């Protein structure tokens, strides 16, 4: 059952809603449907891809995954360029340490065209000294960092315990980038003034309202940390409310 819901094949794969040959988990298919319903111009369901990696903790693991993502993204971009005669508009939506994997592609940008610009959307990503400077790289045209102050798991990874580059300000991972830049917008999220847990950031209201959140962030000054409060029903991930949670977030 869990595999049917969460399975994501390793590497970059096209999401085919009608012919799911890769057996991509139901969670991902539903998210594509919900995102494209919000804003079909920004989130075109015909052009969604998943990227699977091991998810294991470790900087070298994430670095290797970032390299593989850069390589496969470069190949995909060339296919789009050949088919449509121009480079595609690339948005990468990440969750947790997937954000650090995506940041890592700046280290391997030789695999894709210099003219390619990427919008990076980070949900609940642990910000770490080893990778945060990649946010400044020219390959990223925009970076959105969306977090909850009630998300304990986001910060619990003790980066200075095993990091090749130590963070002088925080032994644990941080919620926000230490450097501000015009292209980087950061905000905390609440739902009716309640904070969200780690899984709620990807399986809850932020995904259902992602288009509106990004629009609000576009008008936010880059040197402030925003606060977006969603006035909507909130169903927390819980084994005692699993049926309602599945109906709210995992069904079209």
46 SS3 class: helix
The structural domains of the chain, with segments of one domain joined by +, span 2-249
DSSP symbols for 6-44:
H---BEEEE--SS--TT---HHHHHHHHHHHHH-TTTS-
pTM of the model: 0.89
pLDDT per position as a tens digit, 160-214: 666 666 666 667 788 999 888 999 999 999 999 999 989 888 877 888 899 999 9
Two structure tokens written together for 208? 């259902």
CB 106 within 8 A of CB 128: no
pLDDT exceeds 50 at position 120: yes
Q: Rounded distance, CA 180 to CA 195, Å? A: 24
Sign of CA dihedral 68, 69, 74, 75: positive
């Amino acid at each position: 059952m869990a595999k049917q819901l969460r399975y994501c094949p390793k590497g970059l794969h096209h999401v085919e809603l009608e012919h799911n040959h890769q057996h991509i988990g139901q969670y991902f298919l539903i998210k594509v449907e919900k995102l494209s319903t919000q804003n079909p111009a920004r989130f075109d369901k015909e052009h969604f891809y998943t990227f699977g990696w091991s998810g294991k903790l470790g900087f070298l693991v994430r670095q290797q995954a970032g390299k593989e993502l850069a390589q496969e993204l470069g190949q995909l971009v060339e296919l789009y360029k050949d088919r449509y005669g121009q480079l595609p508009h690339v948005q990468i939506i990440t969750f947790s340490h997937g954000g650090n994997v995506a940041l890592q592609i700046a280290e391997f940008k030789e695999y894709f065209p210099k003219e390619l610009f990427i919008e990076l959307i980070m949900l609940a990503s642990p910000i770490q000294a080893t990778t945060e400077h990649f946010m400044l790289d020219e390959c990223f045209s925009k970076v959105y960092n969306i977090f909850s102050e009630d998300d304990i798991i986001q910060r619990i990874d003790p980066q200075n315990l095993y990091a090749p580059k130590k963070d002088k300000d925080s032994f644990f991972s941080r919620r926000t980038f230490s450097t501000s830049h015009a292209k980087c917008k950061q905000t905390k999220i609440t739902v009716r003034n309640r904070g969200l847990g780690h899984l709620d950031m990807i399986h809850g209201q932020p995904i259902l309202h992602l288009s509106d959140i990004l629009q609000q962030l576009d008008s936010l000054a880059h040197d402030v940390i925003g606060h977006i409060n969603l006035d909507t029903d909130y169903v927390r991930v819980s084994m005692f409310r699993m049926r309602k949670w599945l109906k709210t977030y995992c069904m079209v």
